[in-house]
Chain A
Amino acid sequence: MTAVTGASDAGHRTLIRAGGIICSRPAVYVCCGPGAISGLATTLTAYSHVAAGPPSAERRTTLLAPGGSVEAAASAFEAGADAVYIGLKGWSRGGARNELDRGQLQECIERAQGLGKKVQLALNIIPGTPERKRLLHELGEVAAWGLHAVIVNDLGVLRDIRRNLPELAITVSIGCGALNADDVLFYQDLGASAVVLPGYLEPLEVAAIKGRSSVAIELMLHMVEEFAQLGKCWMPSYYHFAAAERIQPPPRLDGSVKRGGVGTCFRICQQPWKLLRDGVEVDNRVLPSRQISRLAELGEFLEAGIDVIKIQGRSLSPEMVGTLTGRYRSALDAWNRGSRLDWDAASLPPMWTVQGR
């Protein structure tokens, strides 16, 4: 089957086929969003590789788990994670709760190296000019320990790291808000090695993005989707712009969740709000959010070509990180063996929620 749903003025055409995507970089825009998927969804049959045989051994999908503590990182590795991502004190979004100090980071990197695994560093704050210089200096030191990649949340930081540490892989955080193929190309052009996309994208969208880009695609298949998109929300600071926790060094930035302020996301979207319509109260509600666990659709995403399965949740306990990682490991291994996946989304334990980032 071939479906052509969009074309540029240059006449380029994108062909979506059940087995893959053929397209080129020039302006090709394919309708693969939620509105266009329904008619095409059956073309990417889940687990179709079962009939076709196991996937090529040369393509290996990485399972990336959260390491909010040394224990959580160890648990993730034990459960089958190929890599963990860790926040360094002062330099990661979401505050100090789930960050490691330099000694703990080094311990995790050494453990990973001993196991043949990897560590990514979440440097996903948006530092001001003075902080940026310190960040680059500190990053240069920890990169030398054997860090695999750094996760960034800001164009300027991306550019600075690419220029100053050209050997270090750079992952564009989900907080940068990449959603479409051109977003990914933009970050690719800036020197990113990987881009994280939200788990609410559909397999066809991911396939289209993968088909037009050459960077690694990380998909956060296990995450909380809150009402406002990650990286595009400043509702909390509109109400409470927390005073800075002025520790020198490292600094903490004033209030902003987006920039990496201390404890400032107090889940304002999850508090009860009265909805007023033309001045009349018509409802009392929280803004919608949902736990995304797309384990049941893992095969479709793997066929779409994702390079990294990412699990959100540096706030999760070591036990829960281990359980979650193990489930995804089992599913990934089954798919790699060409076995049918039998995970049922409805069977996922309701406790598998991300309690905070």
Chain B
Amino acid sequence: MQTFELNTTISNLRSLRETDLSQYDAVYLGNIYCRTFQENFLERLDDLSEGIAQVKDRGLRAYVTTYAAPRNDALPKVQKALETAANVGADAIEVHNMGVLLMVHEQFPGLPVHIGGFANVYTDAGAAVLKEHGAARFTPNYEISLDEIKAIAHSVSLPAEILVHGKMPLGVSDSCFLLEYESQWDEKCPAVCQKDLFLRQRDWAMRSVGRGVLSGKDVCMLEHLPALVADGYRMFRIEAAYETPAYRFNLARIYRSALERVAQGDNTVDELAWHTVRQHTAVGLCNGFYFGRTGGEYVGSQGAAAEVCWLGTR
């Protein structure tokens, strides 16, 4: 029987408590974009301890993610979060920043490192350097294709984690432009980024999260799971840091079911699953850059679902 890992991201304890994790194997705890994200695990170390314990109590692996672009002022807190992760028994640290990678590598060599998407793994040579610094797996930069990912993973003997569903990170910022709206919306940080915020231009859309920008469309690799499994991928992520508990659960249920069928040689996806996927997509579907094409395109049978369809119109 093939074993898979299906994981997701949860930024705070409240959201963790509200999420049914029964379909997952692992959870990344923390918000990589913003130190002031509401009750961010990375800033509330008691919550982080509790979160790790809760995840492990449910029989899942607990990973701690870290900031995508920390300046010096964030490092003391990162240090404390790493100490907490090590003390409480986190199963791995996700690293996007080379400084944080160095901290883990030198001070917590026992903690496996997962390289995150903002670490910019584009080539086998880059991945090899990261492996020497303790990388146990990598999420490739989102811009590279499955062919390139496969070549890197094979060349470096480093397993890749694949984002199979959710909003793909497109950029990270040093500042939050949503703060400009605090008075206008009569809402203060950290509540201001908790709304559904989209940037729209013609049929283009991006999800704004203040200090970051995500794809407006949801990456969806559901119908391509058999090919991913055939290529040897076993670790799959549903990126849901800014999604609802219902999103996390329902999408995980679909992907878990699909993975189990793939393991039994059944590569079909039932229509009910597609209905659920469409229900949880505000703007449409895409495949990211996996097929060497523009990130917002969709390759496959669900082209209609890939078309931009704005909030409230489905």
Q: Of the candidates A33, A157, A276, which one forms a contact with B71 in the assembled complex, judged by CB atoms under 8 Å apart?
A: A33
Q: List 18 A-B contacts (CB under 8 A).
A: A34-B73, A35-B73, A127-B123, A132-B123, A154-B120, A159-B128, A182-B103, A186-B98, A186-B102, A186-B133, A205-B71, A227-B213, A228-B213, A232-B69, A234-B142, A254-B292, A274-B200, A275-B198
**B74 to A189, Cβ gap below 8 A?**
no
**B101 to A258, Cβ gap below 8 A?**
no
B288 shortest CB reach to chain A, Å: 8
Interface membership of B296, Cβ < 8 A: yes
Chain B contacts with A in 259-314, Cβ cutoff 8 A: 289, 292-296, 310-312
Listed in ascending order, the chain A residues whose CB lies under 8 Å from chain B are 5-6, 8-9, 27, 29-36, 126-129, 132, 154-160, 176-187, 189-190, 198, 200-201, 205, 208-209, 225, 227-229, 231-235, 237-241, 254-256, 258-259, 271-279, 281-283, 287-288
Contacts of A155 in B (CB 8 A): 125-126, 129-130
Contact flag A159-B129 (CB < 8 Å), given A227-B177, A278-B195:
yes
Interface membership of B171, Cβ < 8 A: yes
Contacts of B126 in A (CB 8 A): 126, 154-156
Interface membership of B72, Cβ < 8 A: yes
**A126 to B295, Cβ gap below 8 A?**
no
Contacts of B20 in A (CB 8 A): none
* Contact stretch, chosen from B52-60, B201-209, B235-243, B249-257: B201-209
**B118 to A232, Cβ gap below 8 A?**
yes
**B125 to A129, Cβ gap below 8 A?**
yes
Known: A234-B171, A241-B295, A279-B311. 8 other contacts (CB 8 A): A6-B76, A33-B72, A129-B123, A183-B99, A229-B171, A232-B69, A232-B171, A235-B206
A12 shortest CB reach to chain B, Å: 11
CA distance A330 to B122 in the complex (A): 41
Q: Mark B196-224, 1 if CB is under 8 A from A, else 0.
A: 11111100101010000101000000000
**A132 to B125, Cβ gap below 8 A?**
yes
What is the total number of residues of chain B having a CB less than 8 Å from a CB of chain A? 71
Interface membership of B244, Cβ < 8 A: no
Contacts of A190 in B (CB 8 A): 129
Contacts of B69 in A (CB 8 A): 177, 179, 229, 232
**B72 to A30, Cβ gap below 8 A?**
yes
**A9 to B171, Cβ gap below 8 A?**
no
Nearest opposing residue in chain A for B217, CB measure: A238
Interface membership of B19, Cβ < 8 A: no
**B71 to A273, Cβ gap below 8 A?**
no
**B124 to A129, Cβ gap below 8 A?**
yes
CA distance A271 to B199 in the complex (A): 11
Chain B contacts with A in 117-146, Cβ cutoff 8 A: 118, 120, 122-130, 133, 141-143
Interface membership of B157, Cβ < 8 A: no
A311 shortest CB reach to chain B, Å: 20
Q: Of the candidates A29, A132, A232, A258, which one forms a contact with B172 in the assembled complex, judged by CB atoms under 8 Å apart?
A: A232
